[in-house]
Amino acid sequence: MSAKDLRNPLKRALGLGSAQAGVGHWWTQRVTAAGLVLLGLWFVITVLGLLHADYATAKATVAKPWNAVLLIAFLVTAFWHAVLGLQVVVEDYVHTRWKEVSLLVAIKFLAVLGALASVLAVLRIALGA
Amino acid sequence: MADTRRPLSPHLQIYSWQVQMVTSILHRATGIALAVGTLLIVWGLLALAGGEASFGQFKTCIGSPLGLVLLFGWSWALFYHLCNGIRHLVQDTGAGYAIPQFVRSSWLSVIVSVLLTVAVWAYVLSAGGAA
């Protein structure tokens, strides 16, 4: 550390910057992106394998343990990544504060509902309820 | 309160078009489209969990002309966002920022995404169509 650095060592150690969030948003967006490269390709290949599949086959495919696990991982990661991405778009283009905050909250609510609903659907199929 | 009369950057129509700008705009646009498209996956899974009748309804809807157009659009959006996303992950390491490299990787994202989309739909057609 330079002798001229007037910042408290704790501030440097936490690395959270003036917005108190540090690089958390940026880093999470990259980590979910890396996950989605793999999960997205797996999802496309799985869906292509279900071409012309009847109801029972489609259900049995989703119910396979590994498919169910990867599908839930894909859904959660995709919604998480989408929230982070849409947040940046809203912050960039919506300049009225109350509209910006309302949109950000609405996006989070919708994404959580979408994730919960789709995960519950996968669980129902996988557990045979 | 901040002074809101700050100078603004010029609007899009002021700049001359170049591929790096197109890839950047498309990354956002496809990201938004994919976020909406995720709701289709939610719908499909809910229909599958709901029983044979609701799944049949879902299949009829996505097999309709409008459904197929949306599927085709979303498949390209997915492949474009995937290719350009990998490009951005590579650039996050600090690589590929020389202007010729930047232009080349922009074109690579666009071209590979189109090739992947064509390959997937060629497979779908060879397997007897999507509907």
A52 touches chain B (CB under 8 A): yes
Query: What number is the average pLDDT over the span A27-42?
Result: 97
Instruction: State the pLDDT at residue B73.
Output: 97
Chain B residues inside the 8 Å CB shell of A61: none
Chain A residues inside the 8 Å CB shell of B28: 89
Question: pLDDT tens-digit profile of A74-123?
Answer: 999 999 999 999 999 999 999 999 999 999 999 999 999 999 999 999 99
Question: pLDDT tens-digit profile of B34-92?
Answer: 999 999 999 999 999 999 999 999 999 999 999 999 999 999 999 999 999 999 999 99
pLDDT-derived band of residue B9, with 50, 70 and 90 as boundaries? confident
Q: How far is B101 from chain A (nearest CA, A)?
A: 22
Given a contact cutoff of 8 angstroms between Cβ atoms, the answer to whether B59 and B49 are in contact is: no
Contact A44 B56 (CB under 8 A): no
- Choose the CATH number for B20-126 among 1.25.40.10, 3.30.1300.30, 1.20.1300.10, 3.30.1330.60: 1.20.1300.10
Instruction: State the pLDDT at residue A113.
Output: 98
Q: pLDDT above 90 covers what percent of chain A?
A: 78
Contact B55 A58 (CB under 8 A): yes
Nearest to B89 among A34, A82, A117 (CB): A34
Phi, psi of A101 (to 5 degrees): -65, -40
User: What CA–CA distance (Å, rounded) separates A42 from A30?
Assistant: 19
Could you tell me the end-to-end alpha-carbon distance of chain B, in angstroms, rounded to an integer? 57
Residue A39 has pLDDT above 70, yes or no: yes
* Domains, in order of start, for chain A: 23-127 (1.20.1300.10)
Residue A62 has pLDDT above 70, yes or no: yes
pLDDT-derived band of residue A42, with 50, 70 and 90 as boundaries? very high
Q: How far is B35 from chain A (nearest CA, A)?
A: 6
Instruction: State the pLDDT at residue B70.
Output: 96
Tokens of B43: 């719908």
Chain B residues inside the 8 Å CB shell of A90: none
Instruction: State the pLDDT at residue A17.
Output: 80
Residue A128 Rama label (left phi>0; alpha psi -120 to 50; beta):
left
Question: pLDDT tens-digit profile of B12-28?
Answer: 778 888 898 999 999 99
Nearest to B48 among A37, A41, A125 (CB): A125
B35 touches chain A (CB under 8 A): yes
Tell which residue, A20, A125, A109, A128, has the closest CA to residue A71. A125
Domain extent listing, chain B: 20-126
Compute the mean pLDDT over every residue in chain A, rounded to the nearest whole number: 93
Determine the distance from the C-alpha atom of residue B130 to the mean position of all C-alpha atoms in its chain, rounded to a whole number.
Answer: 20
Residue with the larger pLDDT of the pair A74 and A18: A74
